[in-house]
Amino acid sequence: MVDRNQELKGKVAIVTGAGAAGGLGIRMVRTLAEAGAQVVMTGRREKELVELCEGLKEDGLDVSCVLAQMKDPESVANIVKFAVDTYGRLDIAVNNAALTNHPKDLTVENMDLDAWDEVFTTNAKGYMILAKYSIPEMRKVGGGSIINISSGTSLAGFGMYTAYASTKGAINTMTKYIATQVAKDQIRCNALVLGLVATDVCDHSMPAPLLKIFEDNHILGRLGSTNDIAEFVRFLASDNSKWITGSLLDIDGGYYAHQPTSAPIEEFMKQAAA
């Protein structure tokens, strides 16, 4: 085993969607940087992104930041260019940024078509473009690791967020295709299929009774923490996982190990909307 404290020394990583305090992305950035990686973090809001980046630098971590819009192909391509221009190489790409909770992402019958396109462009297409431009740079250094953040919403039906869940299903399939196509170059690609993770956004946007329903359906009795996920990203980024590729790894507190029902959630939402 590699020394865990320096297992990513000499590696360069990209983490998208890291511009929110208390979010999953910023936790990933810190965890990878603490393991020795030089990390490029992206976000959409300049002020918050720069403040978070400077805070990590003050802690002695080697990080840089760049603004990015995942629905803009040129912006996504620029992330890779920025990383290589800044650090000279690229070894790790974490596709984390995603458009969630779109107010018009409803049932298929009631779907707003522009909302569908926006969610797919940001999520599925954005992930593909980052991988597309990361692969040649990883090939130059003899390999790498692409880590896609997926969701358990891709595994079962629900009464809303149809576009979001469908993008995660697309990401699951894309993960296996990428892994197959670049294995010869020692580039690995895996996806983490997440349960509900307790972030600041989650805490502020979901009523306590709804959070309790989700907690009760995670058989370990709690929501995931950002650290739970970041530590697994660290593992997949390192050579400790060098024989893992093309995998969809359920990191969900056992949510899909049993048969949770969406009925209590949908009933809560109906009552809340009444």
Cβ-Cβ contacts under 8 Å for 169 (sequence gap 6 or more): 154
Please compute, for residue 157, the number of CA atoms within 13 A of its CA located in the half-sphere on the CB side.
4
Catalytic choice (87, 161, 164, 255)? 164
The residue whose two tokens read 């473009």 is 129
What CA dihedral angle connects 164, 179, 147 and 232, to 10 degrees?
A: 110
Segment 169-172 long-range contacts (CB within 8 Å, at least 24 positions apart): 170/120, 170/123, 170/124, 171/95, 171/123, 171/124, 171/127, 172/248
- Contact at 8 Å (CB) between 57 and 113? no
**Which amino acid is located at 200 in the chain?**
D
**Could you tell me the two tokens for 244?**
């893992």
Q: Please indicate whether residue 255 is annotated as part of the active site.
A: no
Q: Burial level of 58, CB count in 10 A (0-12/13-18/19+)?
A: exposed
Active site residues per annotation: 164
